A and B are shown apart, each in its own frame.
Chain A
Amino acid sequence: MTRKEERLLPEVERAVRAPEELVVVGKRIPKSDALYKVLGQAQYIYDMQLPGMLYGKILWSERAHAKIISIDTSEAEKVPGVRAVITAQNTPEIRIGFMKDQPVLKKDKVRSFRDEVAAVAATSWEAAEEAISRIKVVYEDLPGIFSPEEAMEEGAPLIHEMDARGKELKDNRIRLPWKLVCGDLEKGKAEATCTVTTSYEVPAVNHCCMGTSACIASFDAGDNLTIYDITQIPSLAKADFLEALKAMGAKGRVRVITPTIGGGFGSKLDTYGYQYIAMLLSHRTKRPVKIVFTREEEFFATSPRQQAKFTITQGCDKEGYLTFREVNATLDNGAYISWGATTPSVMMMPMSSLYRVPNIEFKSTCIYTNNTWAQAMRGYGNPQATFAIDCNMDELAEKAGIDPVEFRRRNANIPGEETPQGFLPRTCGHRECLEAVVEKMGYEGRQSGIVEGTPKARGMGVASLIHVGGGAKIYRSDGCATSIKIDDDGWVDVFSGSQDIGQGLDTVLRQIVAEVLGFKPEKVKIHVGDTDTCGWDAGCHASRSTFVAGNSAKVCAEIVRAQMVANFAAQLEVAEDAISITEGEVLAQTDDPDKQVTKVERLLRRAHMTGRGNTMFMASNFWEPNNKLLAGDFHGNFSMAYTYGVHGVELEVDTETGQVDVINYVAAHDIGKAINPMLLDGQAYGGIMQGIGYALTEEMLFDKGKLLNPNFRDYKILTCLDVVPIEAIIVETDDPEGPFGAKGVGEPGLVPVAPAIANAIYDAVGIRLRRLPMTPDRVLEALWAKAGKAIA
């Protein structure tokens, strides 16, 4: 098919690198921190104790929606050990969230069960808790709104009467008009010979970080704040905290330090009320204040992936090529605005650019409700959107009479083609991923349906993904700073503005820097998470760290390497191009046998310590990707590279119990180049298991805004015993912009899991499940509905 050839970009020039040239990059090197974590030596914030430290607890709202009539803290103040009790009445107002619709401590009104009403600092957790229990709040209930439908009804009570600027609001719709139009929808509809409209529903799910939210805020005598924190975004958090300092009248500076982080997955992409409360309590008491969430607080008072509903129509022509896609989405934003309200900006990516579809209209509305407010979670809006797209793809394929795999083959993305939204993927291994998965699964010869003599039926399904793999320009800068210093014993310290939240960036940067310098990886140490010593970075999000921080570190290492080469060439009296450094040895092309191989440490020491030298090798670099902010119509190339993938699943449905068991899982990802295949496998395994949870078991259950299952007993995150056989296939397309050809892969593993499973269930038993999670009772209910059997 060549209908879009005229839009193909000229073939990009590929750097030609023979794999054997790489010594460290591409190797399966264990995570740098693995030993310390396994032995319990990694220092988490929960382990930290500062002299004089107090313990902070928060009083959460006891109502979903109510006026605060009065708060009486007098009894709390009498509890022995209590050093401060704060409310909105006795502290300066700090507003948070990018639309500033939320005060940290609520003054006149609470809008959800996780609203912060008061807080206490005391000399023990017990005293703080006791004091919290003695605060008396008088509420006057307001009618609560717990779904976007109720919120949009005529005359529904307003959750916010006015916006942050004091402008009156007329309804509960959030003023973020997400609308993307590409091509000509009507033309696409006219060209379609087959269309399918379906609706999908996804629940709120929690990140379930093993480390709960926590921080220690500490002001020194000069009003300088040091905050030990678990943020994914040290530089941006610092900016937020500085703003709060101004509101508090503190003139000092802010230092954000992150110890080992027990999981992020997007949950730490914004700053939260508790961090500001710790700051307020510390400023009030002049003592360090630690706040640590209980697991229950972590569930109900952190921000989940939001509940959403999609209605999607796609059409294809008689040859099975997509002609249009039209999608409407409604998102339950919850009571306040955080990044969750911007997930439609990422939903646009698969909406416009997953499979080749020329004519698109996507609209999304985020609605205020009295539920918990939503945030980013691995994949941002992508998994939700892909569930709608890739399930509908199967339904359309069936209606068009085309095998689901063949249908995807025809519509697969290709490299070099500008997508309707204006993305320019220079590399794209979508088709390679599809073929690899189909072959590995034995899709063509599959036997679907009932396994003879059992109540179980087998099926296979596939789904695809596109995700940003080369940064994502959301802020005016999408860059990352790196500083490198090498000491005279050959130890290398790399200070990256980026952040490691367990994904293994420390290992990836170590490999990249060691490769460029020609040093052994164990000589390289990565430092992240200290805003006093590390430069600026846009944060650990959008699967950008390997790509952006990796490129930044690579360029920085190249500068240092050039410094060394110039110096070593002079020392060895050879030309610079006669010098190479590999695995810690300096090789010189010279006839002098004494100079042909020299340990790098020897030359480093001589450069520094001898009269002819006194040189140290260090450099800093800020690397800014060449991507663009999306235009007002959301068009533009906001990432320098795009990651693709295809997942295939084989499963068994118990037709009597509705139980779904994944038997085999194959996932192929085009990640450009695997810097470390072992870590890549880990990202795939983790993402897929999290995705299976999203598909089959996980769901935050609310009763009028109150979370019913704030614990691991009732919130069904999968366990190690649930791990299924997973084969992670690496497709390497060697991206010209990525460090050593790499693209990002932090989020993709989760993205297409749910639709692949839903499609496989259909293949097995012929039922379409359009609501997550696909629990056994919902599966059985659908099986009964298909058989015309009513449930009692």
Chain B
Amino acid sequence: MAAALDYLRPASVAEALSLLSTIEGAQPVAGATDVWVGIRSKKHSPKALVSLKNIPNLRFILPDRETDAYEGRAEGVTGDSGVLLGAATTHGDVEDSAWMKTHFPAVHQACSGVGSRQVRNVATVGGNICNAAPCADSAVGLLLYDATLVIAGPAGERELPLSEFFVGPGETRLGPAEILKEVKVPNPGPRTYAWYWKHTRRKGVELPLLGVGARVTLDADGMVEKARVSLGVCAPMPTRSYEAEKVLEGQKLTAELAAEAGEVAAANALVRDTWRGRGWYRREMVRVLVPRVIKLSGALS
């Protein structure tokens, strides 16, 4: 049981930011599914929790779903068929969005596999990103689409590519008085194929042994114009395999090329032995699963 702590419920982003900057050791929370585990196990002892749940306009999938009070914030921001996710959008919201499934299948898959449905009903995409676990499913999915984070702070808003956000396990470039407000995902363009695979020991309530995402965008001639390979649990943070991406880009996509990308990703993976999984096995799974995920994306057919 934790020591008593304040639970504050600001009604706006500005109020939340002001609370965070005035209360030392205040921790922003949304679904709190990770934060509470940390508090209960005494890994974290925040002085206060600042809930973002009551702030309007933080839970939406644009253009698929808007919050009632939304004021046209994202007009033109993401371009056609890009997506703007409110940070308090739950994994369940994404899971339930047929639109996300169609346009951003890898994000949809990543979000649909987090925890259990009960967890997904409250756990938010923004929380998953800010918790910065090496296995964060939604981050691994979003890395494929060059997502950008919209961060609100005392000095206004700033944007930061997701790929630059993580510093280490549980560590990010989010300042103590900042909150993640939105996740902006550009239109990946036509002929884009993407998939996310969560390699697990069981089918539910599970962290991945390894999370593997792959996306390829082909040009009109069928050559790989842009490739993204992202990995969870392969480094101290969700990461891209730039080496594997290089193997794919500018080439004609074949099963052999996909296998080569797997080899290169595996060779460069920063896996290590932990009691949760052995390094050699994780490395081998990168080798095996990267080409499989490319194949599952449909880009090869």
Inter-chain CA distance A714–B207, complex, in Å, is: 9
B1 interfacial by beta-carbon distance below 8 Å: yes
B252 interfacial by beta-carbon distance below 8 Å: no
Give chain B residues whose Cβ lies under 8 Å from the Cβ of A656: 288
Contact between B201 and A776, CB atoms less than 8 A apart: yes
Inter-chain CA distance A777–B288, complex, in Å, is: 13
Contact between A657 and B205, CB atoms less than 8 A apart: no
Residue of A703, A709, A780 near B281 (CB, 8 A) is: A780
Inter-chain CA distance A718–B209, complex, in Å, is: 16
Contact between B203 and A777, CB atoms less than 8 A apart: no
Give chain B residues whose Cβ lies under 8 Å from the Cβ of A721: 202-204
Give chain B residues whose Cβ lies under 8 Å from the Cβ of A435: none
Give chain B residues whose Cβ lies under 8 Å from the Cβ of A184: none
Q: A656-B288, A657-B285, A657-B288 are in contact. Are A777 and B277 (CB under 8 A)?
A: yes
Give chain B residues whose Cβ lies under 8 Å from the Cβ of A129: 1
Please give me the residue from chain B that is nearest to A658 by CB atom.
B281
Contact between A657 and B199, CB atoms less than 8 A apart: yes
B191 interfacial by beta-carbon distance below 8 Å: no
Give chain B residues whose Cβ lies under 8 Å from the Cβ of A701: 275
A775 interfacial by beta-carbon distance below 8 Å: yes
Give chain B residues whose Cβ lies under 8 Å from the Cβ of A775: 201
Q: A129-B1, A656-B288, A708-B275 are in contact. Are A791 and B280 (CB under 8 A)?
A: yes
Please give me the residue from chain A that is nearest to B278 by CB atom.
A777
Contact between A722 and B1, CB atoms less than 8 A apart: no
Inter-chain CA distance A656–B3, complex, in Å, is: 48
Contact between B284 and A780, CB atoms less than 8 A apart: yes
Give chain A residues whose Cβ lies under 8 Å from the Cβ of B202: 697, 716, 718-719, 721-722
Give chain B residues whose Cβ lies under 8 Å from the Cβ of A781: 281
Q: A701-B275, A703-B275 are in contact. Are A713 and B205 (CB under 8 A)?
A: yes
A125 interfacial by beta-carbon distance below 8 Å: yes
Closest-CB distance, A699 to chain B (whole angstroms): 10
Inter-chain CA distance A719–B117, complex, in Å, is: 12
Q: What 0/1 pattern do residues 771 to 792 of A give for CB contact below 8 A with B?
A: 0000111001100000000011
Give chain A residues whose Cβ lies under 8 Å from the Cβ of B281: 658, 776-777, 780-781
Please give me the residue from chain A that is nearest to B115 by CB atom.
A713
Inter-chain CA distance A680–B285, complex, in Å, is: 40
Interface residues of B in 248-301 (CB under 8 A from A): 275-281, 283-285, 288-289
Please give me the residue from chain B that is nearest to A455 by CB atom.
B288
Residue of B4, B204, B289 near A722 (CB, 8 A) is: B204
Inter-chain CA distance A718–B205, complex, in Å, is: 9
A1 interfacial by beta-carbon distance below 8 Å: no
A98 interfacial by beta-carbon distance below 8 Å: no
Closest-CB distance, A726 to chain B (whole angstroms): 16
Inter-chain CA distance A666–B202, complex, in Å, is: 21
Closest-CB distance, B270 to chain A (whole angstroms): 14
Inter-chain CA distance A713–B200, complex, in Å, is: 12
Q: What 0/1 pattern do residues 663 to 707 of A give for CB contact below 8 A with B?
A: 000000000000000000000000000000000010001010000
Contact between B203 and A722, CB atoms less than 8 A apart: yes
Inter-chain CA distance A133–B276, complex, in Å, is: 29
Inter-chain CA distance A658–B207, complex, in Å, is: 18
Interface size, chain A (Cβ < 8 Å): 28
Residue of A126, A776, A791 near B1 (CB, 8 A) is: A126
Inter-chain CA distance A658–B282, complex, in Å, is: 12
Give chain A residues whose Cβ lies under 8 Å from the Cβ of B289: 657
Closest-CB distance, A647 to chain B (whole angstroms): 21
Inter-chain CA distance A720–B278, complex, in Å, is: 27
Interface residues of B in 190-224 (CB under 8 A from A): 199, 201-207, 209
Give chain A residues whose Cβ lies under 8 Å from the Cβ of B278: 777
Closest-CB distance, A297 to chain B (whole angstroms): 13
Inter-chain CA distance A709–B205, complex, in Å, is: 15
Closest-CB distance, A146 to chain B (whole angstroms): 15
Closest-CB distance, A696 to chain B (whole angstroms): 8
Give chain A residues whose Cβ lies under 8 Å from the Cβ of B280: 791-792
Inter-chain CA distance A658–B116, complex, in Å, is: 25
Closest-CB distance, A362 to chain B (whole angstroms): 34
Closest-CB distance, B211 to chain A (whole angstroms): 14
Q: What 0/1 pattern do residues 502 to 523 of A give for CB contact below 8 A with B?
A: 0000000000000000000000
Q: Which interface residue of A125, A697, A701, A792 has the most chain B CB atoms within 10 A?
A: A792
Inter-chain CA distance A713–B115, complex, in Å, is: 9
Please give me the residue from chain B that is nearest to A702 by CB atom.
B275
Contact between B283 and A792, CB atoms less than 8 A apart: yes
Please give me the residue from chain A that is nearest to B207 by CB atom.
A713
Give chain B residues whose Cβ lies under 8 Å from the Cβ of A776: 201, 209, 281
Please give me the residue from chain B that is nearest to A659 by CB atom.
B199
Give chain A residues whose Cβ lies under 8 Å from the Cβ of B4: 126
Give chain A residues whose Cβ lies under 8 Å from the Cβ of B205: 712-713, 719
Q: What 0/1 pattern do residues 585 to 619 of A give for CB contact below 8 A with B?
A: 00000000000000000000000000000000000
Closest-CB distance, B153 to chain A (whole angstroms): 32
Q: Which interface residue of B276, B278, B281 has the most chain A CB atoms within 10 A?
A: B281
Contact between A714 and B276, CB atoms less than 8 A apart: yes
Residue of A130, A658, A719, A792 near B203 (CB, 8 A) is: A719
Closest-CB distance, B36 to chain A (whole angstroms): 13
Q: Which interface residue of B4, B199, B202, B275 has the most chain A CB atoms within 10 A?
A: B202
Closest-CB distance, B181 to chain A (whole angstroms): 29
Q: What 0/1 pattern do residues 714 to 746 of A give for CB contact below 8 A with B?
A: 101011111000000000000000000000000
Contact between B284 and A720, CB atoms less than 8 A apart: no
Q: What 0/1 pattern do residues 71 to 85 of A give for CB contact below 8 A with B?
A: 000000000000000
Closest-CB distance, A392 to chain B (whole angstroms): 27
Inter-chain CA distance A775–B199, complex, in Å, is: 13
Closest-CB distance, B287 to chain A (whole angstroms): 9
Give chain B residues whose Cβ lies under 8 Å from the Cβ of A713: 205, 207
Closest-CB distance, B75 to chain A (whole angstroms): 40
Inter-chain CA distance A126–B1, complex, in Å, is: 6
Give chain A residues whose Cβ lies under 8 Å from the Cβ of B283: 792
Contact between A720 and B204, CB atoms less than 8 A apart: yes
Inter-chain CA distance A708–B206, complex, in Å, is: 17
Give chain B residues whose Cβ lies under 8 Å from the Cβ of A657: 199, 285, 288-289
Please give me the residue from chain A that is nearest to B205 by CB atom.
A719
Inter-chain CA distance A677–B57, complex, in Å, is: 54
Inter-chain CA distance A8–B41, complex, in Å, is: 61
Please give me the residue from chain A that is nearest to B274 by CB atom.
A708
Give chain B residues whose Cβ lies under 8 Å from the Cβ of A719: 116, 202-205
Please give me the residue from chain B that is nearest to A714 by CB atom.
B276
Please give me the residue from chain A that is nearest to B281 by CB atom.
A777
Inter-chain CA distance A723–B205, complex, in Å, is: 14
Inter-chain CA distance A522–B20, complex, in Å, is: 60
Inter-chain CA distance A673–B202, complex, in Å, is: 35
Inter-chain CA distance A125–B1, complex, in Å, is: 8
Give chain A residues whose Cβ lies under 8 Å from the Cβ of B288: 656-657
Closest-CB distance, A125 to chain B (whole angstroms): 5
Closest-CB distance, B216 to chain A (whole angstroms): 21
Give chain B residues whose Cβ lies under 8 Å from the Cβ of A780: 281, 284
Inter-chain CA distance A701–B277, complex, in Å, is: 12
Inter-chain CA distance A781–B285, complex, in Å, is: 12
Q: What 0/1 pattern do residues 606 to 642 of A give for CB contact below 8 A with B?
A: 0000000000000000000000000000000000000
Inter-chain CA distance A506–B1, complex, in Å, is: 37
Give chain A residues whose Cβ lies under 8 Å from the Cβ of B279: 792
Inter-chain CA distance A716–B208, complex, in Å, is: 12
Please give me the residue from chain B that is nearest to A716 by CB atom.
B201
Give chain A residues whose Cβ lies under 8 Å from the Cβ of B285: 657
Give chain A residues whose Cβ lies under 8 Å from the Cβ of B204: 719-722
Q: Contacts A656-B288, A657-B199 given; 7 further ones with Cβ under 8 A?
A: A129-B1, A703-B275, A709-B275, A713-B207, A716-B201, A719-B116, A777-B278
Which 6 pairs, one residue from A and one from B, show the smallest C-beta to C-beta distance?
Answer: A719-B204, A721-B204, A721-B203, A777-B281, A656-B288, A792-B280
For this complex, 15 residue pairs linking A to B, each with C-beta atoms less than 8 Å apart, are: A125-B1, A126-B1, A130-B3, A656-B288, A657-B289, A658-B281, A697-B202, A703-B275, A709-B275, A716-B201, A716-B202, A721-B202, A722-B203, A792-B280, A792-B283
Residues of B whose CB lies within 8 Å of any CB of A are: 1, 3-4, 116, 199, 201-207, 209, 275-281, 283-285, 288-289
